[in-house]
Structure 1
Amino acid sequence: MTFNFKDALGVHADALQVRAERTKVLAANIANESTPGFTARDVDFGAMLQDRIDSENGEMSLGEGDPLYRVPFHPSADGNTVEIGVEQAAFSQNASDFQTSLTFVNMQLRGLAKAINGQ
């Protein structure tokens, strides 16, 4: 009998990958806060996760999870759309959500280890 870890971990493994990709995008925004003309970007977590799930099921992806440009609340004179407070809040929330998914994966792996050991 074969065992598929993908089925055992559910959506949380994919969620970790999408959160990691979003972290890269948000970190790039923060790093380019003072770059003239830099346009802040973000990803739609739900659409990107759904694209990943659909591609694993063999369905066509519409590309809805591609990074999107963020519209600033207060545009700057140099054309940079990064607002550091917004980016830091998004980064912090994303880190918290990443930790939550990681906790679920760890709990599932511990449960599998107990089952394997017969506990």
Structure 2
Amino acid sequence: MAISFDRALGIHPQATLARSQRAEVLATNIANADTPNYKARDIDFSKALEQAKSSQSKRLATTHEKHFDLSINSLESNTLYRIPNQPDTGDGNTVDMQLERGKYVQNAMEYQASINFLGGKFKGLKKALGGQGA
């Protein structure tokens, strides 16, 4: 009987990827805090996760190695401009450093939790494949 990693791991690899891409977007915001007219962006994580869940069941099976992978990276469509919480400082920049740092730290902790969860899943699979009791 073959093991389906999609079933065994569920949505967690996609969630980890979304958190990784969100970290890049937040880091870009922090790096551009002093750039005139830069608009802060963020990824709508819940929407990205819902799209990943729906696309997980709709993947096309390839029967030949030269077939194209038609899976669509929907995270780019979930990157949105953030509505600023602070008044315009005159340069058109919408980055709030305190907010960005807080969101970055929160995202980093959630990313680490996802990695730990996936590590536990792989540990369980390794035990199942090795025939070891729990």
Q: Give your verdict on TM over 0.5.
A: yes
Matched, 1:81 2:94: yes
Letter in 2 for 1:73: N
> Is there any run of 5+ residues in structure 2 with no aligned partner, and where?
60-71
TM-superposed deviation, 1:106: 0.3
Q: How many residues align?
A: 117
Once superposed, which parts of structure 1, at least 4 consecutive aligned residues long, lie more than 4 Å away?
none
1:110 match: 123
> Do the aligned residues in 1 keep the contact of 2:11 with 2:52 (CA within 8 Å)?
no
Matched, 1:67 2:82: no
| TM-score scaled by length of structure 1 | 0.90
> Is there any run of 5+ residues in structure 1 with no aligned partner, and where?
none
Residues 22-41 of structure 1 aligned to structure 2 (within 5 Å): 22-41=22-41
TM-superposed deviation, 1:58: 2.2
- CA distance in 2: counterparts of 1:58 and 1:86, whole angstroms: 36
- CA distance in 2: counterparts of 1:91 and 1:52, whole angstroms: 22
- CA distance in 2: counterparts of 1:9 and 1:57, whole angstroms: 13
Larger Rg: 1 or 2? Answer: 2
| TM-score scaled by length of structure 2 | 0.81
TM-superposed deviation, 1:21: 1.0
RMSD of Structure 2 on Structure 1 (CA):
1.8
SS in 2 for 1:104: helix
Q: 2:111 aligns with which of 90, 98, 109?
A: 98
Deviation by residue 1:51-79 (Cα, 9 ceiling, x = unmatched): 112122229x9x69521111112132100
- CA distance in 2: counterparts of 1:114 and 1:76, whole angstroms: 57
Letter in 1 for 2:128: A
TM-superposed deviation, 1:89: 0.3
- CA distance in 2: counterparts of 1:76 and 1:96, whole angstroms: 31
